[in-house]
A and B are shown apart, each in its own frame.
Chain A
Amino acid sequence: MHAEAAGVMTGTHFLDGDHACCEGALAAGARFSAGYPITPSTEVVERFASRVPTVGGTFIQMEDELAASIAIQGAVWGGAKAFTVTSGPGFSLMMEHIGLAVMTETPCVFVDVQRGGPSTGLPTLPAQADMMQVRWGSHGDYEVIALCPNSPQECFDLTVTAFNYAEQYRCPVFVMMDEVVGHMTEKVVIPAPEQIEVTPRRYTTIPPGEFLAFHPGEDLVPDMPRTGEGYNVHVTGLTHDERGYPDMTPAMQDKLVRRLVDKIKKNADKIILYEEDQIDGADVVVLSYGITSRVAQRAIDMARKKGLKVGKFRLITAWPFPEKKIAEIAGKVKAFVVAELNLGQMVREVERAVAGKATVRFVGHAGGSVHRPEDILQAILEVAR
């Protein structure tokens, strides 16, 4: 279906990434947000607080991030599309409710505008150091979907995608921005509502009494009941059967958790997004994501000018990680240069997928500024030798 016109600010705008993200949420149909102030993400909900009363919806400022990250889940079960927005320390507080959203298959979106950590770290400066936390930060086994915009335009586009994936796969979806992407201002084109694809909630058509709340479809995802319509649904964070009733046996644990993991893993080819350029015939592939991909582009251009055969691979979904694609490229190139604003996170996934078939060179630092293109270029020159 198409976006509801009320939420779509069609036109060409000059927006920063935080504001563009908010417009993406509104275009995707988000009518509820709960948030807690934290730099450098607050502008997203500030804009939502200003815009949503004129569209029809609610923003509430909660007492902390624990509250924000579960209030949105209450809103989802109340029938809304909902999201919350945060940065490092707040993201740490939200970890328990990532698990709740996974376990209860609550479609919701978390935006993390990454800053330098650990702890209070660098509140106003960028990092890409929550990339493993988003994947592993809550306890237990699970899979998530995480998207990495590299421009305000993509903050709009990928926030829409995040809501669509959340509804399609009934899981929490993450928009992993960073301080620079969040605060940089560029041209953002918002299409007409009929040009924006929006995934509707998978409401069941089975009447109450016959409906099993957690009985999956062929894609391993169950349809959702509406609250207040007589379904008397039970939603619990405990291990549960297809009725939603607690069943804390090893057999049920394995069946449920395996399905929650498989519904992402087995649909990974439909979920994974990336951008590639001149991979065929390349000696070296530069892999990056988010703001770092903008800097890496400069390094790639400089290397190409020197006559080197350099390809570009940009992760758009960090999770699920495109491991098959990376393994395939690894057989054809000499080396990967992996650039990210941390001390080595996604590079571990690259190494795992490459499995020794090519050299993997990491270029990173602990955050606070973007890379210098020269540092990435230097790595390209070294591995190309």
Chain B
Amino acid sequence: MSDLTELTAHNPVEQFLRMDRIPHIWCPGCGIGTSVNSFAHALIDAKIDTKNLAIVSGIGCTGRVAGYVNQDSFHTTHGRAIPFATGLKLANPKLNVVVYSGDGDLFAIGGNHLIHAARRNVDIKVVCINNLIYAMTGGQTAPTTPGDVVTSTNPYGTYDPSFNLPYLVEAAGAVYVARWTAFHVRQLARSMQEMFAKKGFSFIEVLSPCPTLYQRRNKMGDGLDTMKFYKEVSKVRNGALTKDVALTKSGEITVGKFVDRERSDYRDLMHDQLFESLGDDYVETEACSCQ
């Protein structure tokens, strides 16, 4: 009997969630919640000190992640989660700063910040939920939407060329780049663990269904159909060249870890340069905190 109590008492991920805010706003079949579940499992398995974990989100469906995780969490402005996270991390380097946001937020309005943070190699971890569309605002074309897809702003099909996110992020300087889908929950959790172990700008793209706006308008079925689609067309190719992993409407989804390399992070670069130039006059600080 006591065993049964043990089994039913706790979902191990509950400790990371603000249960008083559940149910969440995400639609049935959406992959954002699935990714948060993988994230929570990664925190458990990697034994992350969650006291020092801070989650920063921008705006949009994925932007709401910050509101559901029971951590220090910052729901900022549209596209600006990364510069907020940059300030947070540089002022308080002991924090483990994770940016959790969507493709439109990170790559359209926030694209400039993303490439510059990757260039600097600021030690922040970025989880990008890519549902290929602007979902919160009703299904408009995003910079990730593949060609020939019906959206509310391209009712006759998209023709804007789209970004290949891993290729862009690698070129900008990220030290860790991986892609999974909402179907690959265990692989995603493992990848997140690896990301936590990296020092520097790390990036995981997670393809997620938007059954309400993307799949429905394009007659691609519901959330379950999308899981079947992901299973069918995904191909694990660790170490694939990122130039080869662009997404199309119905072609192969290349998943796996594409980049895992070492570069000095921003703070180390700053420290080394200032120490070399200033010598003993350089006052190194653990944090910029005030009284």
A-side residues, CB < 8 A to B, are 1, 4, 6, 29, 31-32, 34, 53-58, 60, 62-64, 66-68, 70-82, 96-97, 100, 200-201, 227-238, 245-246
Contact = CB atoms under 8 A, between A and B. Distances in A.
Contacts of A77: 74, 88
Nearest to B284: A56
Contacts of A78: 87-92, 95, 287-289
A66 B113 CA distance: 9
A192 B5 CA distance: 66
10 contacts: A63-B116, A70-B83, A74-B88, A74-B89, A227-B72, A228-B92, A233-B73, A234-B74, A237-B75, A245-B18
User: Helix, strand, loop or mixed for chain B's interface?
Assistant: mixed
Contacts, number: 171
Contact of A75 (B88, B112, B274): B88
A67 B80 contact: yes
A67 B54 CA distance: 19
B66 interface: yes
Interface stretch (B218-226, B234-242, B275-283): B275-283
B67 A58 contact: no
Interface string B11-41: 0000000100100000000000000000000
A53 B75 contact: no
Contact of B92 (A29, A71, A79): A79
A82 B87 contact: yes
User: Helix, strand, loop or mixed for chain A's interface?
Assistant: mixed
B91 A79 contact: yes
A62 B82 CA distance: 11
Nearest to A230: B51
5 smallest beta-carbon distances between A and B, as pairs: A74-B87, A79-B289, A78-B91, A78-B92, A71-B87
B144 interface: no
B141 interface: no
Contact of B91 (A58, A234, A235): A58
Contacts of B94: 228
A70 B51 contact: no
Interface residues of B, number: 46
Contact of A74 (B83, B116, B285, B287): B83
A54 B76 contact: no
B284 A74 contact: no
Given A32-B87, A60-B86, A201 B285 contact: no
A201 B85 contact: no
B150 interface: no
Interface string B213-251: 000000000000000000000000000000000000000
B80 A70 contact: yes
A74 B56 contact: yes
A16 B291 CA distance: 29
A63 B282 CA distance: 25
A245 B24 CA distance: 13
B80 to A, nearest CB: 5
A333 to B, nearest CB: 44
Contact of A82 (B74, B83, B91): B91
Given A78-B289, A234-B67, A238-B75, A32 B278 contact: no
A78 B56 CA distance: 12
A29 B290 contact: yes
Given A29-B290, A74-B88, A75-B88, A227 B83 contact: no
Contacts of B92: 78-80, 227-228
B154 interface: no
B71 interface: yes
Nearest to B278: A53
B83 A246 contact: no
A79 B54 CA distance: 13
Given A34-B87, A60-B86, A79-B92, A54 B67 contact: no
Of A32, A54, A70, the most chain B CB neighbours within 10 A belong to A70
Nearest to A236: B75
Contact of A71 (B67, B75, B83, B287): B83
A1 B290 CA distance: 12
B283 A53 contact: yes
Given A32-B87, A58-B91, 12 more contacts: A4-B291, A34-B83, A54-B283, A63-B112, A77-B74, A78-B89, A100-B77, A228-B52, A228-B54, A228-B72, A228-B95, A236-B66
A233 B66 CA distance: 10
Of A34, A67, A78, A82, the most chain B CB neighbours within 10 A belong to A78
Of A34, A54, A67, the most chain B CB neighbours within 10 A belong to A67
A54 B83 contact: no
B282 A100 contact: no
A24 B281 CA distance: 21
A252 to B, nearest CB: 15
Interface string B38-59: 0000000000000110101000
Given A73-B87, A79-B288, A227 B116 contact: no
Contacts of B278: 53-54
Contacts of A201: 290-291
B67 to A, nearest CB: 6
Nearest to A74: B87
B152 interface: no
A16 B29 CA distance: 61
Contacts of B284: 56
Given A56-B284, A58-B91, A78-B288, A245 B21 contact: yes
Nearest to B83: A67
A155 B136 CA distance: 45
A71 B288 contact: no
B84 interface: yes
A192 B14 CA distance: 53
A240 to B, nearest CB: 9
Nearest to A107: B290
B281 A58 contact: no
B288 A70 contact: no
Contacts of B70: 232
B270 interface: yes
